[in-house]
Amino acid sequence: MSAYYVTTPIYYANGLPHIGSTYTTTLADFLVRYYSMLGKDTFFLTGTDEHGDKVQQAAEKLGKSPKEFTDEVSSKFESAWKELGLNPSRFIRTTDEDHKENVRNILQKIYDQGDIYFGEYGGHYCTGCERFLTEKELDDGKCPDHQTTPEWVSEKNYFFKMSKYQDQLLDHIKANPDFIRPERYKNEVLGLLREPLEDLCISRPTSRLSWGIPLPFDENYVTYVWFDALVNYLTGIGYPGQDKAKERWENSEHLIGKDIVKPHGVFWPTMLLAAGVPLYKHLTVHGYWNTPSGKMSKSLGNAVDPLEVKKQVGMDVFRYFVMREMTFGLDGNYSGEALETRYNADLANNLGNLVSRTLSMVHKYRDGKIPVPKSLNEESKKLKTNALSCFEEMGQFVESREFHKAAGRIWELVDLVNVYIDRSKPWSLAKNEENADQLDETLYCQLECIRIAAGCLLPFMPDTAPKILSFLGIDSKIEPNFFETFELLKEGSEVEKGEALFPRLEVNKEEKTEKKIAAKPKGGKVTEDKAGLIAFGDFQKIELTVGQIMEAAKIEDADKLLKLKVDIGTEDQRQIVAGIAKHYQAEELVGRKVAVVSNLKPAKLRGELSEGMLLAASDDAGNLELVYPGDLIKVGGKIS
């Protein structure tokens, strides 16, 4: 069984998880689930970076010792990941004993071979980055990432001969085109290597910074933060040391944000070359999540708390959103509105509706039993072929680390099944016993595609996908070579009616901010929201009239809309555009009585005039039914 080892940055123990760190950790969790399905022996490392000025200063501010402070922060990180369903194989802390020992051993080795020397250096030190910035990196004298003026620090310190390994690193990058990816970040590192590298300051005198790992060859100094932190990737799997660790290391991938490309793309590989340890396999870099108004940061007060997001929409929705929304490698915008749009479009309307309407049709037309198709026609075969290649094609996108396209591939299938249903019209087939075979075939194909789509969804949505599969009576434990052992539909056995997977989201329009997303309560109940209550007088303003649909037609390129001509007892018939095409065929509506909101200002929808609205009832399972009066009241009668 081959190995797969993925790491996230270890996060500074001076804050709490935010969307950025949660995104990286989610990607790692996704990859581990995905490679487990392929049968790889996976290992996932994350943790906290606890030494250095930044953490020491944060502890001092609270009047705590650094140890006391980092114990608290670190355990909050660990429990947040658990709460968010992100399950590292090890949660490492740079204060762990085995890590301190590993750092000291590596330092000693590099020192003994003469690659660490004592010298004096003055430079622009940015506490935010925890490193010296070169003149070239400064933007108008400031750190471009933190917008602060670095401190001029000049002192005697230990230096690592990074420059000695520059050419070797350059050769490695050239010989291994996917060592750093996406391409743009490889180019960034190549750009850094075009200039002669300066040697790396790796220590701080204990007189200035005591919170660190003492150098094994000089107790008056502690290691500089990066030389300590980066080594966690080796300590985490016990490398150098065990055999298993070697195999993991050969298949390692560091996931990072674009802010820390230099330490990972330059410092770390040169340190490894000096330590005589093979280089990691991949450095995979993602962009930043920003808010629509710019950078996301705690100090700007626009940081999003992942635990809050989980409470509001659930972790699966978050996972899907961040992987689908961000073009991997570029920056992305995180906003409540964008999340709501994806939720309603991709999850509630597409996937959720597909599952709920399929299950309800199987119950309505086949007593809930999975039908056995006699044969498959061309269209059904085409659909099944698409479904059968879904996992593999999605996998190709995962391999190229285009997570947004990988998720998109599953939705290609979901969309196709929805179109297939609309074309096959099971509700019409069900009207005539002669079409029984065709109805069996259609319903079977719907279920089969849902089964495969849910299998592909497992690493993206680890709570929802098993739920969908359980509706079909399928066990969804992730086993090695998943699709070879993936349970098939048990023909003749019963499917569940299921529950609404994605109740529609409603954002409080007046207070639409990144944080204010409220999920509608299940069962369609109305919340006790005083702002949402209307006065009796307001209700009286609405005029409701009994109408009858005289004509109905689809509108081109608008798959949800129907254009209706409705008689409401006036001289002219009203034209009403209604969003009910997913629920009713045009033909079945003609002659039907309806309740019409008849005093609505006319509006244009898709270029078509709409002079009113129809009343309809809906539920969380995605069902919708027109509300209409009985026989007694004639067309034109008023509803009050």
Which stretches of the chain bind ligand MSP, using CB under 6 A? Answer: 9-12, 20-21, 23-24, 49, 229-230, 232, 256-257, 259-260, 288-289, 296
Tokens of 107: 């330092």
**243 CB neighbour count, 10 Å cutoff:** 8
Closest CA to 444 of 490, 486, 497, 409: 490
Tokens, residue 114: 């003469």
Q: Give the nearest distance from C-beta 146 to ligand MSP in angstroms.
A: 11
Tally Cβ neighbours within 10 Å of residue 314. Answer: 19
Q: How far is the CB of 142 from ligand MSP (least distance, A)?
A: 18
Distance from C-alpha of 567 to C-alpha of 273, rounded to nearest angstrom: 82
Please give the backbone phi and psi of residue 555, each rounded to the nearest 5 degrees, phi first.
Answer: -110, 130
Q: Which residues contact 614 (CB under 8 A, 6 or more apart)?
A: 547, 564, 566, 576, 578, 580, 594, 595, 596, 597, 626
Task: Please give the torsion angle defined by the CA atoms of residues 276, 9, 232 and 176, in that order, rounded to the nearest 10 degrees.
Answer: -20
- Which helix (H) or strand (E) element contains residue 249? helix 243-250
Cβ closest to ligand MSP, residue 212 vs residue 426: 212
Q: Is the dihedral of CA 182, 183, 184, 188 positive or negative?
A: positive
Least spacing, CB of residue 554 vs ligand MSP, in Å: 43
- Tell the smallest beta-carbon distance from residue 296 to ligand MSP (Å): 5
Residue 551's Cβ-count burial label (10 Å; 0-12, 13-18, 19+) is middle
Least separation in angstroms between residue 107's CB and ligand MSP is 16
Looking at residue 494, the DSSP 8-state letter turns out to be: B
Q: Minimal distance in Å, beta carbon 84 to ligand MSP?
A: 15
Which C-beta is closer to ligand MSP: that of 11 or that of 160?
11
Residue 407 Cβ vs ligand MSP, minimum distance, rounded to whole Å: 18
Report the residue number, 180 or 229, with the smaller CB distance to ligand MSP.
Answer: 229
Q: How far is CA 166 from the centre of its chain?
A: 36
Q: Which is nearer to ligand MSP, 26 or 356 (CB)?
A: 26
Q: Which is nearer to ligand MSP, 143 or 500 (CB)?
A: 143
CA 200 to chain centre: 36
Q: Minimum CB separation from ligand MSP for residue 334, in Å?
A: 8
Smaller CB distance to ligand MSP: residue 213 or 614?
A: 213
Write the CB contacts of 89 (distance below 8 Å, at least 6 apart in sequence): 42, 43, 44, 45
DSSP 325-349: HS-TTS-EE--HHHHHHHIIIIIII
- Whichever of 58 and 315 has its CB closer to ligand MSP, that residue is 58
Name the residue nearer to ligand MSP (CB basis): 10 or 429: 10
- Which residue lies nearest ligand MSP, judged by its C-beta? 20
Q: How far is the CB of 335 from ligand MSP (least distance, A)?
A: 13
Pairing assessment for the beta strands 41-49 and 3-12 based on DSSP bridges? parallel
Q: 336 or 629: whose CB is closer to ligand MSP?
A: 336
- Residue length of the chain: 640
CB of 102 to ligand MSP, least distance (A): 13
CB atoms within 10 A of CB 511: 11
Using the minimum distance from each CB to ligand MSP, give the nearer residue, 49 or 448.
49
Place of tokens 């996230």: 8
